Amino acid sequence: MGELNRALYMARQASASAVPEAVVAQAQALGDVLVEAKRQQNILKRGGKDLETLLEVSQTLNQEHELSVLLERIMDYAIPTLNAKRGFLMLRDEGTGALEVRVARGMGGDLDQGEARVFSTGVASRVAAEGAPFFTANSKGDTRTAGFASVMRSDARAILCVPVNYKDRNLGTLYVDNQAGAPGFTQDLVRLAQSFASAAAGALENARLYQNIQEETRKRSSLSRYLSPAIVEDILKQEDELVLGGSTVECSVLFSDVVGFTPFSEALRPDELVALLNEYFTLMAEMIFKNNGTLDKFIGDATMAVFGAPVFEPDHPAWAVKAALDMIAAADGLMEKWKSEGKPTFKMRVGVNSGPVVAGNLGSPQRMDYTVIGDAVNLANRMESVAKHNSVAVSATTWEKIKDYAQGEALGPVKVKGKAEEVPVYLVTSIQPPSREAGQIKRATPRADVELFAIYVQEGISGTRQGIIRNISAGGALIQTSFPADAGNSIRLNFTIPGGGPVKDLVGHVVRATWIEEAGRKGYKVNLQFLDIGEEPRSIISQYVAKKNS
């Protein structure tokens, strides 16, 4: 085309009429077409190269499951891919939503050392909030950057920042820049940066998913040692972390013991004794798990189990007693088997008590076990000691909670160790727990996450207190407050349902109170079970929950 244009020019110089204007115009148009074709060819060539780069980046990043290593690799690829000299990656904290710089390159010091650096986090935060990329070829002359002090203080000239999104969820932002004197960015680079960020987001999500699976596997393995499968599933769904510490809860505690263990053990060699006890304890654990119980520990020839913790089960007294009766029936069958095999046998006894305890992971950070402590635990142990052979003895507290669907008889006031006065004891012969089946830990009524201001009066304490209702149903609520509460106490609530009106003097029974520090908030989480809720507040709350969940 250059040669043709020169020939046309020389011909017209010799004679203006030598070449018609139409021919000159067509030649110019053809030249423009060829220039545009060349430009499109370069774009396609660059696009193909970019596509190859992105494919390589995506494949490499998705092979890394260790998050810290993945972050480093993302920045190692981002700098050369986007023709940048420096940059950083910010990720959202999943708990607080705050953006944090997780990895940086060339920003003035080692990120881990906390040295002075100038991060344009204002630009990155804006990109995360708006969900749109930010690009400027000259930050000093761009009015949009005038409000970002970090940009004004830095020597960044060309800036490119894009959101790191996985589907519709923002994970963070990717920021790169070049100083004055370095090659600048072009608008075409924005699409490449967005595609790179998308590939990085997929790799980050895969790494987090992998780590979540690893963590859930670890938790499941740990929990399965002493919790029933149903309770393990409930804990994992709630995403509660097992940490050192405890909380007050209301639950039922079961103790069982072998009667005449000494003569039984003397008739066996040590290896035979261990084999028989393992067979017996395995069967006892099955009965506990079948009835939604938590296996606390084996103590010599004794077994301790908890019902209603760590996951609250409103009918825990009934399930504890049913487990006790199932254990005796299972042990009877096992003794018949041993007898037919010519092995020694024994009888057992079980005690159950219900009441407030301190429950949690107690011990040290290196060695912790889930257990419960308190006077209610001691009384359960005393119930076992006064039970008759192959029978279940329960306290008056437990009996009052199960008497409508259990059969038994009063053993009478009994003097037990640790109590100055005699305590009532009942022997239970059968029970039919309420309609909820074993293995089903489901809330009786739908609930909704809310944020409702409430005032309340706590049993035995003068004055009005305040709190925030975090979730609610017609059966209970979770309140966050700065005031402690004890399991077993009652709270009288007053709050207003948006669009439904005020709820006054609603009585809640404290079933758990836990100290928490999360998302910048400190205080107590208090789980309440509503008692004798009237039809009007039940209707108001139920309609509100249904609307929130719709």
pLDDT of residue 115: 40
Average pLDDT over residues 156-178: 87
pLDDT of residue 438: 44
> Which carries the bigger pLDDT value, residue 55 or residue 488?
488
Average pLDDT over residues 7-31: 61
Continuous segment of H or E residues that includes residue 399? helix 396-402
Q: Could you tell me if 72 and 60 are in contact, meaning their C-beta atoms sit under 8 angstroms apart?
A: no
pLDDT tens for each residue of 257-289: 999 888 898 888 989 999 999 899 989 988 998
pLDDT of residue 52: 62
pLDDT of residue 97: 65
Taking CA 318 as the corner, what is the angle to CA 317 and CA 322, rounded to the nearest 5 degrees? 120
pLDDT over threshold 80, residue 330: yes
Q: Could you tell me if 350 and 291 are in contact, meaning their C-beta atoms sit under 8 angstroms apart?
A: no
Return the SS3 of 101.
strand
pLDDT of residue 365: 54
pLDDT over threshold 80, residue 47: no
Q: Which two tokens stand for residue 293?
A: 């119980």
SS (H, E, C) 468-488: EEEEEECCEEEEEECCCCCCC
Which residues partner with 135 through β-bridges?
A: 160
Q: Packing angle between helix 21-61 and helix 2-14, nearest 10 degrees?
A: 160
State pTM to two decimals: 0.50
pLDDT of residue 276: 92
Residues 6+ apart with CB under 8 A from 428: 321, 324, 325, 392, 393, 394, 399, 402, 406, 407, 408
Lowest-confidence segment of 29-43, 146-160, 310-324 by average pLDDT: 29-43
- CA torsion, points 114, 120, 125, 126, in degrees to nearest 10? 170
Q: Could you tell me if 389 and 431 are in contact, meaning their C-beta atoms sit under 8 angstroms apart?
A: no
Average pLDDT over residues 506-522: 74
pLDDT tens for each residue of 336-392: 999 999 999 999 999 999 999 887 766 665 555 667 888 999 999 999 999 999 999
pLDDT of residue 120: 59
pLDDT tens for each residue of 199-245: 888 888 888 877 776 766 666 666 555 555 655 655 555 544 444 45
